[in-house]
Chains A and B, each alone.
Chain A
Amino acid sequence: MRYFKNKELIIIITIYTFASFFLLRYDDVFYINAINPIFWADILIYLILDIKNSPIRFRVNKRYLIYMSIIAFVQICIYVYLGFILGFSKNPYSIEILSVLKNTIIQIFPIVSIELARYIIISRNKNNKLVLVFTTILLILVQIRYNTLIDLYSNKEEIFEYICSNILPLISSGILCTYLILKGGYLFTLIYRISSVLPILIFPILPDLDWFITGSIGILSPIIVYVIFKYSEKRDVRERKQNAYIKFSYLLTFAFCITLICFMTGMFKYEPISILSNSMNPTYSRGDAIIFKKLKNNELMDIQKGQIIIYAVGEKNIAHRVVNVIRQNERVQYQTKGDNNNVPDMNLVETEQIQGVYVFHIKYLGFPSIWLYDYFNGK
Chain B
Amino acid sequence: MKNKTQNIVIILLIIISIMAIGYATFATQLTINGTAKIVGEWDVKITNIIAKNVSDGCNAGTPTFTNVSATFNAELEKPGDSITYEITIENAGTIDAVLSSITFKEGTPNGSPAIIYTNTDPISPLPAGQETTFTVTVSYDEETLEIPEITTKTITGIIEYEQE
Contacts and interface: CB of A to CB of B under 8 A. Distances in A.
Partners in one complex: yes
A164 B31 contact: no
Contacts of A274: 24-25, 28-30
Given A245-B2, A276-B30, A264 B23 contact: yes
A160 B27 CA distance: 13
Interface string B1-27: 110011011001101110111111111
A317 B5 contact: no
Interface stretch (A78-86, A128-136, A342-350): A342-350
B57 interface: no
A48 interface: no
Nearest to B8: A223
Interface stretch (A31-39, A108-116, A253-261): A253-261
Contacts of B118: none
Interface stretch (B32-40, B45-53, B64-72, B126-134): B32-40
A251 to B, nearest CB: 11
Nearest to B20: A264
B2, B6, B15, B38: most-surrounded residue (chain A CB, <10 A): B15
What is the size category of the interface that chain B forms with chain A? 20 to 34
Contacts of A313: 31, 33
A210 B20 CA distance: 12
A369 B13 CA distance: 16
A281 B36 CA distance: 11
B25 A372 contact: yes
Q: Give the dominant DSSP class at B's interface.
A: helix
B83 to A, nearest CB: 29
B24 A366 contact: yes
A279 B32 contact: yes
Contacts of A277: 30-32, 36
Contacts, number: 121
A265 to B, nearest CB: 7
Contacts of B33: 313, 316
A313 B16 CA distance: 28
Interface of A: 157, 160-161, 164, 168, 210-212, 215-216, 219-220, 223, 242, 245-246, 249-250, 253, 256-257, 260-261, 264-265, 271-279, 289, 313, 315-320, 338, 340-343, 345-346, 366, 368-370, 372-373, 376
Contacts of A317: 28-31
Contact of A264 (B1, B2, B24, B36): B24
Contacts of A275: 30
B12 A219 contact: yes
A342 B38 contact: yes
Contacts of B6: 249
A341 B23 contact: no
B36 A253 contact: no
A199 B35 CA distance: 45
Given A318-B30, A318-B31, 8 more contacts: A161-B22, A168-B15, A219-B12, A242-B1, A277-B32, A316-B29, A316-B30, A369-B21
Contact of B12 (A157, A257, A265, A320): A257
